[in-house]
């Protein structure tokens, strides 16, 4: 394939780009490096720095491209609450710009990376794609609106489209910002350093943590499978893990006690969320291979920052 990955220097995008390049595909990446790091990309990947809303640049990058993976987005839920206009402009505006440029360039398929966050609170778990969304943040709204644009514009412009609702992805190389960091890399960092893990709310809220290799596998399958046009498909582990249980599993993986502190300043978000993978299995042949225990071990083995942190703390004992 000849593919373009928007947001391809980010956590998921870089893993996808490197896998495709290793498999012999021609891979182009567009990223504004606001959260991405081009140094993590395979040398065979053709990198361009730029904004996904820049249609003339997209025209150039889309020449000869058969499939686009659209991952470019701002992704912080708390930040989206503070800056909803910016999230709408980048996430929704970027999606519309991309589909318009894809139409002009004659691209055949667009795979859109949506989010399990669109579901919000649901009475029934695991949650299936037929559930009515209840987005609780501007970020989630922007992903849901983008799904609608991808579907509608794809139909109008005769582009095959599929949206993958990706749940809580994690894995080596995941960026850990100073504020509102993803749970798994942040908890591991705190635990290895000997600090207390801060758990928001009572810690009984559950999430579906899905390992990066499984996410990449689903994205590639969505670019190749037939019968996906206009579909929305969950991508998760199908395993429901509470935050308290996550801390326990981290302690078991590290082989040491991990102290947790509960903060009531934040409820911790929705009470339960786990993906129903029935559709993913049927349409993508998707079967997640890495459970949470194996994923935590792989994080420790393959994340350079965590290895360095582990070695430093062992030397100080």
Catalytic residues: 139
d(CA 58, CA 46): 14
Report how far apart, in Å, the C-alpha atoms of 286 and of each of 93, 127, 140, 274, 296 are: 30, 17, 24, 16, 21
**Burial annotation 121-159 (CB, 10 A radius, 16+ → b, else e):** ebeebbbebebebebbbbbbbbbbbbbebbbebbeebeb
Main-chain dihedrals φ then ψ at residue 115, nearest 5 degrees: -145, 145
On the question of a cis peptide bond just before residue 126, with omega within 30 degrees of 0, the verdict is: yes
> Which residue has 């991952």 as its token pair?
71
Alpha helices in 118-182 (DSSP H): 138-157
Contact in structure between 32 and 52 (CB atoms under 8 Å): yes
Q: Give the residue among 235, 233, 214, 225 at the shortest CA–CA distance from 292.
A: 214
């Amino acid at each position: 394939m000849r593919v373009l990955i928007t947001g391809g220097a980010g956590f998921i995008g870089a893993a996808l780009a490197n896998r495709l390049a290793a498999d012999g595909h021609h891979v182009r990446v567009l990223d504004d490096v606001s959260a991405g790091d081009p140094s993590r990309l395979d040398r065979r990947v053709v990198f361009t720095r730029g904004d996904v809303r820049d249609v003339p640049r997209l025209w150039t990058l889309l020449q000869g491209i058969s499939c686009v993976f659209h991952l470019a987005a701002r992704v912080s839920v708390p930040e989206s609450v503070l800056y909803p206009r910016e999230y709408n402009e980048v996430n929704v505006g970027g999606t519309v710009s991309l589909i318009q440029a894809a139409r002009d360039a004659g691209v055949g398929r667009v795979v859109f990376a949506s989010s399990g966050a669109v579901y919000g609170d649901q009475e029934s778990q695991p949650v299936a794609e037929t559930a009515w969304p209840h987005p609780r943040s501007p970020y989630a709204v922007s992903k849901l609106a983008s799904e609608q644009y991808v579907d509608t514009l794809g139909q109008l412009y005769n582009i095959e489209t599929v949206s993958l609702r990706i749940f809580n992805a994690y894995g080596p190389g995941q960026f850990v910002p100073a504020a509102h960091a993803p749970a798994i890399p942040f908890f591991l960092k705190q635990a290895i350093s000997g600090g207390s893990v801060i758990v928001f709310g009572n810690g009984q809220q559950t999430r579906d943590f899905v390992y990066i290799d499984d996410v990449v596998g689903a994205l590639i399958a969505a670019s190749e499978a037939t019968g996906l046009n206009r579909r929305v498909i969950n991508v998760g582990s199908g395993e429901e893990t509470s935050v308290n249980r996550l801390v326990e599993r981290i302690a078991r993986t590290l082989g040491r006690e991990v102290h947790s502190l509960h903060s009531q300043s934040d409820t911790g978000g929705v009470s339960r969320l786990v993906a129903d993978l029935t559709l993913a299995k049927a349409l993508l042949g998707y079967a997640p291979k890495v459970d949470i225990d194996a994923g935590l071990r792989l994080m420790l083995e393959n994340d350079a920052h965590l290895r360095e942190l582990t070695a430093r703390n062992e030397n100080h004992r």
